[in-house]
């Protein structure tokens, strides 16, 4: 009987958001060679990350972000803006031939379900929407305002937002879990009332004094269990490809440095 492929897991300790977004793309390329890869990371400072095709004009107050020292970056997946501050992110990269990769909604369902498994193992019980809601005529520019079937909720408020990217030979799905809200700051960034942020977004209980990073092992274990793959923690992150430093000054990816 053929053994299940292992899930290679890296936890990024470098607190360099742009490097972690580049590592996601590198692991996506590696998955095209047949590997199963998971990256987890938590950033100390506030960072706003836009979807690949999202135009910040008229949506994000870039001047406010600049004054407050909030970098605004762009990721390689679609969707809309996520404010990272007191959050934990997970990125799963699979070969396109993997059963989970067969369909956009199927990948979201499997990934969100496995994150829910990991949270439950840590004693945090979340909910999922049983029925896919109708798509709004105008989509919110704020990821955590969209309550969809790939969403995880706590007390009716969104605590997990997801996005994905697809290549010929591999797929990437990632999600961010919220442990902190900063409603007033997000209200200024997006030009909306703070009450609107508070109504849509929830926060998970922080698992330990060490912060959100402490939850990463349980979540990695939940994903590996649902994949029926052995989990292999990797001791060091892969080196970034040559020329990656150029992205630090590329306005397509770094909107506010």
92 strand-pairing partners: 38, 173
**How many helices (H) and strands (E) would you count in the chain?**
6, 11
Tokens of 33: 């060679």
| Residue 34 resides in a domain | yes
CA quadruple 234, 236, 238, 240: dihedral, nearest 10:
150
Q: Quickly count: other Cβ atoms within 10 Å of residue 3's Cβ.
A: 7
| Residue 257 resides in a domain | no
| Residue 224 resides in a domain | yes
Q: Report pLDDT for 44.
A: 87
| Residue 250 resides in a domain | no
- Total count of domains within the chain: 1
| Residue 140 resides in a domain | yes
> Domain with 12 in it: what CATH number?
3.30.930.10
Q: Report pLDDT for 165.
A: 96
| Residue 62 resides in a domain | yes
CA quadruple 79, 108, 171, 213: dihedral, nearest 10:
80
Query: Which residues contact residue 103 at a Cβ distance below 8 angstroms, ignoring those fewer than 6 apart?
Result: none
Helix residue ranges per DSSP H, the chain: 17-31, 62-68, 104-121, 183-190, 194-200, 216-227
pLDDT of 139 over the 90 cut: no
pLDDT of 29 over the 70 cut: yes
Nearest to 38, CA basis, from 74, 88, 109: 88
pLDDT of 1 over the 60 cut: no
| Residue 256 resides in a domain | no
* Strand stretches in the chain, DSSP E: 7-12, 36-41, 47-50, 72-74, 82-84, 87-95, 152-154, 157-166, 170-178, 231-233, 254-256
Q: How confident is the model at residue 146 (pLDDT cuts 50, 70, 90)?
A: confident
**Average pLDDT along the chain:** 92
- In this predicted model, what pLDDT tens digit does every residue of 61-83 receive, in sequence order? 999 999 999 999 999 999 999 99
Q: For residue 153, what are the domain limits?
A: 7-241
In this prediction, residues 204-232 reach a mean pLDDT of 88
In this prediction, residues 17-25 reach a mean pLDDT of 96
């Amino acid at each position: 009987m053929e053994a299940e492929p292992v899930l290679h897991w890296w936890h990024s300790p470098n607190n360099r958001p742009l490097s972690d977004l580049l590592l996601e793309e590198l692991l996506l390329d590696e998955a095209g060679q047949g590997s199963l890869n998971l990256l987890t990371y938590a950033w100390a400072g506030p960072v706003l990350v836009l979807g690949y095709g999202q135009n910040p004009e008229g949506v994000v107050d870039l001047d406010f972000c600049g004054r407050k020292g909030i970098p605004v970056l762009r990721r390689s997946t679609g969707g809309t803006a996520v404010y990272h501050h007191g959050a934990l992110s997970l990125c799963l990269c699979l070969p396109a031939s993997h059963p989970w990769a067969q369909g956009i909604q199927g990948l979201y369902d499997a990934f969100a379900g496995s994150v829910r498994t990991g949270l439950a193992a840590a004693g945090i019980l979340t909910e999922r929407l049983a029925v896919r809601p109708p798509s709004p005529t105008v989509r919110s520019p704020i990821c955590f305002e969209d309550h969809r079937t790939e969403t995880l909720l706590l007390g009716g408020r969104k605590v997990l937002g997801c996005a994905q990217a697809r290549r010929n030979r591999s797929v990437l799905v990632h999600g961010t879990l919220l442990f902190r809200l900063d409603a007033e700051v997000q209200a200024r960034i997006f030009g909306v009332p703070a009450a609107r942020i508070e109504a849509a977004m929830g926060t998970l209980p922080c698992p330990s004094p060490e912060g959100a990073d402490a939850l990463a092992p349980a979540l990695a274990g939940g994903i590996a269990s649902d994949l029926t793959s052995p989990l292999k923690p990797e001791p060091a992150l892969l080196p970034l490809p040559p020329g990656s430093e150029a992205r630090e000054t590329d306005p397509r990816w770094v909107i506010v440095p």
